[in-house]
Amino acid sequence: MTTRKQLMYMGLFFLIFVIVIPAIVLYSLGYRIGDNFGLVKTGGLYFVNDESDVKVFLNDKLKKESGFIEKDILIQNLKPGNYHAEVKKEGYRLWEKWVKVSPEKVEVLYPLLIKEKLEITEIPRYENIAAAKKKKINEEYADVLKLFEKKKKPSKKAFFTWTDPEEKKLRLSEDRKLRDKVFLYRNNNNIYVRWIGKEEKLPFFINSMKPKLIFTSETPFRSFDFFPGRNDSFIVHLSDGSLLACEIDNRFGNQNFYKIVKYCDRYIIDDEELYYFIGSKLFVIDFGN
């Protein structure tokens, strides 16, 4: 090998060392080339999820899919900017939101995934006993009726069992709901949320210690409550009798809303189950399945 070729190879290796190696180091540290060709620190998105086979798309590109065991989804090393996020699962309604990624920050998102066709089961009022001379009330129907009666006449003792002085001040009622330190309350045709826990435990979907408007309606709505099994979403009983599922998170100026029941006279939430009446007919939707 001639001296000239040796010098050429040495120069080439030097360029690789000077340009490529620092680029790899910067990449591993979370830096990317921004739109103005300058170095920018990256951010990320974390999707809180309890469903398998969920796909996350950013700007129409598939980024990650949840597994059977690891269901939460973390997407790292995103350049700062606005992204159109979509969460999809076969047989479920689309969840989408414009989100902003900031440098050195991971935004936590709470997709509300609802099946396209909800499994609605009617609970018969009477047991089907062919040989019986007298109709016998169905025990499940009777138990749910008790829940509705309890809702009408809440026990006064419950208001004196709170140990937290802050909770005592909330004066919980049909228009004032509390779950896991998330406080929802109604003011005319508006619903507000307020975090009553410690500031260092403030959830991402609220992101403010001050009262925050999360729902407004031009016409009076009947009632509202937390979504079954969740504290980051709620249900509104609209004036036309329909039930609307809504997410609390409006950080980026947009929310997802889903109509889950076309009409009902009244409803109640019990853990992960939604019970509702149409006349004397009782129905249930189990959101835990």
For residues 27 and 45, what is the distance between their CA atoms, to the nearest angstrom? 18
Residue whose structure tokens are 């609390």 = 248
| Integer CA distances (angstroms), 30 to 16, 73, 106, 151, 278, in order | 21, 18, 13, 52, 56
Query: pLDDT value at position 128?
Result: 77
Are the beta carbons of 227 and 112 closer than 8 angstroms? Answer: yes
Residue 117 gets the label, from left (phi > 0), alpha (psi -120 to 50) or beta, of beta
- Which position has the higher pLDDT, 226 or 135? 226
pLDDT, tens digit, for every residue of 228-258?
999 999 999 999 999 999 999 999 989 999 9
In the structure encoding, which two tokens stand for residue 56, read together? 């996350």
96: which strand partners? 86
Does residue 33 carry a pLDDT above 70? no
Query: pLDDT value at position 127?
Result: 85
Are the beta carbons of 255 and 216 closer than 8 angstroms? Answer: no
H-only helix segments in the chain: 3-15, 21-28, 139-152, 165-168
DSSP 134: S
Query: pLDDT value at position 219?
Result: 87
Query: pLDDT value at position 12?
Result: 58
Q: What is the CA radius of gyration of the chain?
A: 27
Query: pLDDT value at position 159?
Result: 46
Does residue 178 carry a pLDDT above 90? yes
HSE-CB for 28 with a 13 A CA cutoff: 6
Using a cut of 0.85, tell me whether the model's pTM lies above it: no
In the structure encoding, which two tokens stand for residue 190, read together? 């508006």
- What amino acid occupies position 247? E
**Burial state string for 117-130 with b = 16 or more CB within 10 A and e = fewer than 16:** eeeeeeeeeeeeee
Query: pLDDT value at position 100?
Result: 96
Query: pLDDT value at position 168?
Result: 72
- Which position has the higher pLDDT, 36 or 26? 36
Query: pLDDT value at position 94?
Result: 98
CATH homologous superfamily, domain 42-109: Immunoglobulins (2.60.40.10)
